[in-house]
């Protein structure tokens, strides 16, 4: 899209007419403009015209890190950390079968959400599998949770 004030003003009008017809409203104060090959002065002027802030790449959308380059292994550390944190918080009062069902149903959903948009590196998949394996094996012996420290992605 051409970076001009009239184009952006027309886009905002189009979004407002969509809002009027559908009842869904755009919160421009929570939105941001990500300029590409536009000067800082022009991008800040366009953001003021639109009523939003100026953003940059990469940014997080629905919990996923989106950018112009392929994500590195370190970009997936929030996913691995989230899984590790949730595994360590599972109740020891669940039976082995209950823990197994919980791990298979809940903890397969987080990586699946990421894999719908991004290709997970094999290192990340292996790390998640190791955490789940350690958790399942440790609960068999009566020790609940994993104590691996920080995510080693």
Tokens of 11: 């886009």
**pLDDT at residue 140, as a whole number:** 55
Q: How far apart are the first and last CA of the chain?
A: 38
Cβ-based neighbour number of residue 123 at 10 Å: 13
Q: Are 146 and 131 in contact (CB under 8 A)?
A: yes
Q: Are strands 64-66 and 59-61 parallel, antiparallel or unpaired?
A: antiparallel
pLDDT-above-70 percentage for the chain? 85
> Which of 11-15, 66-70, 85-89, 122-126 has the least mean pLDDT?
85-89
Closest listed residue to residue 133, CA positions, set 119, 114, 148, 120:
148
For residue 139, pLDDT over 70 is answered with no
Q: Is 120 exposed, middle or buried (0-12, 13-18, 19+ CB in 10 A)?
A: middle
Considering only residues 16 and 89, tell me which one the structure prediction assigns the higher pLDDT. 16
Q: What is the pLDDT of residues 16-72, one digit of tens each?
A: 899 999 999 888 888 888 888 888 898 888 888 888 899 988 888 887 888 888 888
Average pLDDT, the chain: 80
pTM over cut 0.75: no
């Amino acid at each position: 899209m051409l970076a001009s004030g009239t184009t952006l003003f027309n886009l905002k009008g189009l979004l407002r007419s969509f809002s009027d017809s559908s009842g869904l409203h755009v919160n421009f104060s929570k939105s941001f403009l990500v300029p590409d090959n536009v000067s800082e002065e022009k991008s800040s002027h366009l953001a003021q015209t639109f009523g939003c802030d100026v953003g940059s790449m990469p940014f997080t959308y629905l919990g996923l890190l989106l950018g112009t380059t392929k994500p590195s292994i370190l970009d997936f550390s929030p996913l691995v950390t989230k899984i590790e944190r949730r595994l360590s918080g599972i109740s020891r009062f669940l039976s082995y079968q209950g823990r197994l069902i919980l791990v298979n149903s809940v903890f397969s959903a987080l990586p699946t959400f990421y894999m719908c948009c991004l290709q997970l590196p094999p290192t990340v998949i292996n790390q998640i599998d190791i955490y789940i394996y350690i958790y399942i094996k440790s609960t068999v012996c009566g020790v609940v949770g994993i104590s691996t420290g920080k995510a080693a992605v």
